[in-house]
Amino acid sequence: MKHFLIFLAIASLLLPLPHAAQACSIFTVVRDGQVWMGNNEDYILPGVIWFLPGKRGRLGRVNVGFDTDFAQGGMNEKGLSFDGAAVAEVPWEADESKPSPKNLVEEVMNECATVAEVIERFQEKNCRQLANGQIMFADATGDSAVIAWLPGKGLSIQRGNGADQVVTNTRLEESGYRGQRFVRAEQILAQQKGAGLDTVVAVMDGIHQRGPGAFTSYSTAYDLKNKKVYLYQLADYEHVVEFDVLAELAKKPKKYVIADLFDSGTTLEDVKAGEQRLEWDTRVTLDSATLDRYTGVYSPVIAPDVQFTIERAGNELRVINPGQPDAILYAESETVFRLKPDRGQVSFQLDASGGVMGLTLHKQVDLVAKRIQ
């Protein structure tokens, strides 16, 4: 007989957690007439920032990256910004009826002013980079979108609809799974009632990475309406370098090594001396009555002969399947729990009266179980 915890183990193997060095966190803050994009670039190389004035057929841009002339992120003179996040590679095939530019992201940043224009380009052309990456775009109107690729479907476009939006290293439409950095970013955004740089920095600080294996090399905060960029290095949010993008673009092209812009603050030795940060505290406390309503007997839809029990264990929930090790769930919201250690999330479905109908295990795919007792 299949066991639920074997079912969990198989599901957890479907989506290995991203390697620390490939992590990235991107988000928008759209509030009170302000539009910001924030990004933590988690990698092991020093960053660079460079300014390319506009010329005929190309908008002026500020780019950030790792001194390879490949922009990991940036903003153009119209206030269109982007950044990309690594995701597990999937099969990708070009549509032979569409053109395949060498770098579609470069094209849209050189020529487009709005997210709507970007989406139109991605629908018209192939983008091979989506095989192992997803890209967030945002513009000065507050519009944003995360563009990815899904096998069997093709282009996946998740719009921000004029509200805050977050993306890390799992495809948003692939399943309901959200990593700890994603959840922590949303929690901080919910706690921060204001708009502006302070809110962006609070999120970047709350989800940055550190340690000898991988760390936040640099962080960027883009003010899309006022065309400014605020630059931080090594998750030191006490020291900042500010650029007026339009003023810089009025000068000759210029490239800066980010470390050379800071004469004080956190050093690389400081960052590497600490313990590797691979987990983020997303736990919330629920009262006993809320936890108790999730207790009961459940059966996976794909294996209706299997039954497993959920009971309360203090401030957590315990999944029990005879003959198998117990699994522990801790709350991240009133209805969403994370498996401990992180092997996925479980969300409970409620009816109109608050009764529990079932649950969904989120990993690379969503696996549903009904409550039967």
Tens-place pLDDT, residues 192-249: 988 999 999 999 999 999 998 889 999 999 999 999 999 999 999 999 999 999 999 9
Among 242, 273, 304, the domain boundary falls at: 273
- pLDDT per residue over 259-309, tens digit each? 999 998 899 899 888 888 888 999 999 999 999 999 999 999 998 988 999
Pair 176, 156 in one domain:
yes
Q: Where are the beta strands (DSSP E) in 254-373?
A: 254-257, 296-300, 308-313, 316-320, 327-331, 336-340, 345-350, 356-362, 366-371
The pLDDT value recorded for residue 14 is 39
Pair 226, 299 in one domain:
no
Pair 256, 297 in one domain:
no
Helix (H) or strand (E) holding 219, with range, is: strand 215-223
Q: State the pTM of this model.
A: 0.92
Question: Which residue range(s) make up the domain with 171?
Answer: 20-273
Among 107, 115, 185, which Cα is nearest to 144's?
A: 115
Round to whole Å and give the CA distance between 82 and 74.
6
Pair 290, 233 in one domain:
no
Pair 298, 258 in one domain:
no
Pair 321, 179 in one domain:
no
- State how many domains the chain has: 2
Round to whole Å and give the CA distance between 184 and 191.
11
Helical packing angle, 197-207 and 180-191, nearest 10°: 150
Pair 216, 111 in one domain:
yes
Among 273, 297, 332, the domain boundary falls at: 273
Among 273, 299, 315, the domain boundary falls at: 273
